[in-house]
Structure 1
Amino acid sequence: MFMVFVRPIEQFAPDLMAYRPILALWVVTFLASVWDARRRDWGAANRLQFGLLACLSLAAFLSVWFSSGLEDAMAAFGVISTPVMLFVLTCLNVDTIARFKTLTLVFLGSVTLLSLQGLLAYFYGVDANELFISQLSSENAIPPKDRSPIPAEDTSGTLIWRLRSVGFLNDPNDFGQTIIVVAPWIFVLFSPAASLFSRLSLAGPWLALLAYVLTLTHSRGAMLGVAAALVFFFKDRVSRVMRVLLAAAAVGAFMLGLVGGGDRALSGKERSASERIDAWNDGISMLKDHPFLGVGYGNFTEHHIRTAHNSFVLCFAELGLVGYFLWMSLIVLSFQALNRIVQCVNSADDHARYAVLLRVSMVGFMVCAWFLSRTFVPTLFILMAMAAGLLHAARQAHPVAVAPELHQPLVWRMPSAKAVVFTLMLVSMFIRFSR
């Protein structure tokens, strides 16, 4: 997991990449995981989720085969195998609460390292060319010729410096989305019995660091993700009025340009927003023309000038209703697993506490995904596998005699179908009311 996010070999020893060290690591990790899982009743392996995952991979393969040929289908299958394998490895290994906690801390530590690396680039110019992209703050802005290459020293106000990271996080929106995902896991570090002072002293600096780095991404979708995550986190802790105020404060600050700056403030009338609506409309048209398997995995840009900027639209346009139902089913199963833990386990139990935090992470991710084409990014598949692992761990710690409801099968078919219909209607409403 550390290698997937931090990419130390690519960053600091790129010459070694010719020897395919990551492929070797994949093979060794998979074989070791299978060997270890055999001794532990195959870990958190879930036949239903593995079956849906296999069917989703097959749908992606067939969608490209029927639209572009066998050679392109094999290439597409190779691309989708990365998030699929991360799901499998996570399920094979994360089957106890201790392992779940270890994974969250590795994930959190990796993103923290990347955040510190971003701050070095911002204030001292270390790898700033790779970690920052700049764009004009307004259409008429003219950047000075002698501007500083260090983002923090550029006081011209003509450029917006957007922080990104490495690997699949090399887009500011992806990096912002991942920061939102890991931020709740800071609360894994202390017990619920800790004093308020202990919580603030431990979580405060960490949250401040991640919040500041998040503002450097200038990601509008990330700010909406923050609002959604805050509302969801406090939904059972504060009144409805306070939840609305929290959401309004987060979104309002960004709309007024207090966070993000320049033309990155939210506006339904700006050109990028209009272009997204056009992409969503074309995505609907692709679904109408190819309702079962879509236009083919990775083929959205063959039918539109740019990507969908919406993970849901991208999925149903490229994989059709078949692939979209399978993808939504995996997401619904993950939320169902976490809800089951919260409903059946004492709130003071670590399983319930971590389920609440993981739900917040997934809500933040999915809200950001509404404005990003991140249907098959590794982060989503890791989160879904973590949900499966946490449910397995909770069931092992609470036998049937103690918590029979916890062990009941998850209800997913009808909720998944409803989610498919609801999201299709929501996309259509966005298109209709944005024109």
Structure 2
Amino acid sequence: MEEIRRRPIAVPKERDATLAFFFLVLYTISVLIRPHEFSIETSNYIFIKVFAILSFLLALVSLRPIQLGSQHIYFLVFPVLIIVSGFLNGWGMGGIDQAERFFISSLIPFFLFSNLTRTANRQHILFYVCISAALIMVLNGHNQQQSFDGRFGYGIGGSLTVAGEEMRITYLGFFGDPNDLGMFLVMNVPIAFYFLKRGNAFSKLFFIGVLAALVYGIYMTGSRGTLLGIFGLCAIYFLVNNAGAKFVLFSVIMAPLVATLLASFGGLTSADSSAMGRLDAWYDGIHMLLGNPILGVGMSNFMDLHGKVAHNSYIHVAAELGIIGYSIWGGALMLNMIAGYVLIKKFEKRGQDEQSDISTQELGINKTLFFSMVGFMITAFFLSRQFTLLMFIFLGMQTASNYRIVKLSPELSYLMSFKQFAYCAMYSWVAIIMVYIALKIGL
């Protein structure tokens, strides 16, 4: 009997879609720096859409393998959820419009950044774009302040700061709101620290200047949520690097309760005349959730029912999209944050030889993105920025970093599993529960 020869199974060759990443870089520059808006003549050009479409199509054609993890799958469900919630709340076409908007401006960027940031070098390129954008925004803000004529201060592309209780700098596009500008600057602080630690003497001196510029920019935004974000970021950095896991967990659980109580007593926002109005919005948002627990009141319906935004991204999502929607949104955030924290604590005291072939560089990138997202999560507690593009850009880069580390150490794959996502979805409700308890005590 002839011996049957088995043919080896061909393993598909990985393809990293270099051209798709090139267009992703152009997209990132267009979104963050927005050079096409420097002049009125080119401000309406659709560079952002063109670069996003080209990057997306090239990724589908040339990227192998395409990574579809638990976050990707659940986010694919999100547009359907938005539509169903809209119809059940008597706003069907509005739900369709919101679902389309989410797919284009949130889901596609998350897919691109999480799949195309395949190497540490690619992540460095995106980091440099972020830092460059932040410095241009600070310079623009400085020019706005220096050119202030008693009513307006002018910057690039007609961006301006307006007289009021204080002059608050702005930039172009969605950075026209000082809160969004401040949030981005806070999220760049860990990136500046990353390069500060890695560079030579000249590089260290340069990034010390970058950090000073970021702090100056944060001050010029006049955003109290942003100021709380930078102070909170420093506190979380100290806790993560010096405190035990139990104390960190206790601090994270208590933070929403303490912040809400202090706000209700004027401790954090004594200079803000709308402090109680913000707390009333949080309270109304929780009651919207209790009245429509499964699918919420429908995306973008919070303002119709309350009159203003919630000024709290967590409550805003829970109120509009209910238990299912918030669990997906919060679960996606918590999955990355818990994975990042585990990696920091797992390798912080180990030498290079004990890091299971994970490079110090990759771990440094992961830690940087962890703290950038800490900055987002703190500022998002005082702002309704639940679907801002910044969240999905940084969430995508953080997801890519997690998957690169999992690829190097497959034993860590449980950190990004569907089972872990389910746990994280439950953990994310701690913020809502603690805010509700604080409101019952303080109001």
Sort the TM-score into its range (normalised by shorter chain): 0.7 to 0.9
CA distance in 2, matches of 1:306, 1:231: 31
The 5 A counterparts of 1:263-282 are: 266-268=268-270, 270-282=272-284
Gaps of 5+ in 1: 137-159, 248-263
CA distance in 1, matches of 2:415, 2:93: 43
1:225 aligns with 2:234: no
| Structure 1 residue matching 2:428: 3-state secondary structure | helix
The 5 A counterparts of 1:19-418 are: 20-38=46-64, 41-42=65-66, 45-81=67-103, 82-124=105-147, 125-127=153-155, 130-136=159-165, 160-190=166-196, 192=198, 200-235=204-239, 237=241, 266-268=268-270, 270-345=272-347, 349-396=360-407, 398-400=408-410, 404-405=411-412, 410=417, 411-418=420-427
TM-score scaled to structure 1, two decimals? 0.80
CA distance in 2, matches of 1:214, 1:269: 18
* CA deviations over 1:54-108 (Å, ceiling 9, x no partner): 1222222222222243321221123212021110111221121111221122122
CA distance in 2, matches of 1:11, 1:347: 48
CA distance in 2, matches of 1:28, 1:63: 32
Contact 1:341 1:351 in 2 (8 A): no
* Structure-2 change in CA distance of 1:351 and 1:230 (3 Å): same
Contact 1:131 1:166 in 2 (8 A): no
CA distance in 1, matches of 2:396, 2:189: 18
* CA deviations over 1:218-257 (Å, ceiling 9, x no partner): 11111111111112223355689xx99xx9xxxxxxxxxx
* Structure-2 change in CA distance of 1:189 and 1:35 (3 Å): farther
| Structure 1 residue matching 2:167: 3-state secondary structure | strand
Q: CA deviation at 1:310?
A: 0.3
* Structure-2 change in CA distance of 1:415 and 1:106 (3 Å): same
Q: Which moved more, 1:65-74 or 1:207-216?
A: 65-74
Q: Which residue does the alignment assign to 2:29?
A: 2
* Structure-2 change in CA distance of 1:77 and 1:231 (3 Å): same
CA distance in 1, matches of 2:433, 2:351: 35
Contact 1:268 1:274 in 2 (8 A): no
Q: Which moved more, 1:115-124 or 1:278-287?
A: 115-124
Contact 2:339 2:415 in 1 (8 A): no
Contact 2:109 2:392 in 1 (8 A): yes
Give me the identity figure in percent.
24
Q: Which residue does the alignment assign to 1:253?
A: none
Moved over 6 A (4+): none
Contact 1:341 1:391 in 2 (8 A): no
User: Which among 429, 432, 435 is matched to residue 440 of structure 2?
Assistant: 432
* Structure-2 change in CA distance of 1:347 and 1:394 (3 Å): farther
CA distance in 2, matches of 1:233, 1:211: 17
Q: Which residue does the alignment assign to 1:257?
A: none
CA distance in 2, matches of 1:433, 1:273: 16
* CA deviations over 1:142-168 (Å, ceiling 9, x no partner): xxxxxxxxxxxxxxxxxx101122212
CA distance in 2, matches of 1:399, 1:313: 36
| Structure 1 residue matching 2:162: 3-state secondary structure | strand
Q: CA deviation at 1:32?
A: 2.0
Contact 2:294 2:323 in 1 (8 A): yes
Q: CA deviation at 1:412?
A: 2.8
Contact 1:229 1:363 in 2 (8 A): yes
Q: CA deviation at 1:392?
A: 1.8
| Structure 2 residue matching 1:132: 3-state secondary structure | strand
Contact 1:311 1:369 in 2 (8 A): yes
CA distance in 1, matches of 2:431, 2:318: 10
CA distance in 2, matches of 1:31, 1:60: 25
Q: Which moved more, 1:105-114 or 1:172-181?
A: 105-114
CA distance in 2, matches of 1:268, 1:432: 20
Q: CA deviation at 1:331?
A: 0.4
* Structure-2 change in CA distance of 1:123 and 1:265 (3 Å): farther
Q: Which residue does the alignment assign to 1:256?
A: none
Q: Which residue does the alignment assign to 1:157?
A: none
How many positions carry a matched residue from both structures? 380
CA distance in 1, matches of 2:398, 2:208: 26
Q: CA deviation at 1:14?
A: 4.3
| Structure 1 residue matching 2:159: 3-state secondary structure | helix
CA distance in 1, matches of 2:384, 2:432: 16
Q: Which residue does the alignment assign to 1:141?
A: none
| Structure 2 residue matching 1:163: 3-state secondary structure | coil
AA partner of residue 436 (structure 2): S
CA distance in 2, matches of 1:55, 1:211: 39
* Structure-2 change in CA distance of 1:118 and 1:268 (3 Å): closer
| Structure 2 residue matching 1:161: 3-state secondary structure | coil
* Structure-2 change in CA distance of 1:418 and 1:238 (3 Å): closer
Contact 1:83 1:381 in 2 (8 A): yes
Contact 1:341 1:406 in 2 (8 A): no
Q: CA deviation at 1:323?
A: 0.3
* Structure-2 change in CA distance of 1:199 and 1:102 (3 Å): closer
Gaps of 5+ in 2: 1-27, 148-152, 252-265, 353-359
Contact 2:190 2:372 in 1 (8 A): yes
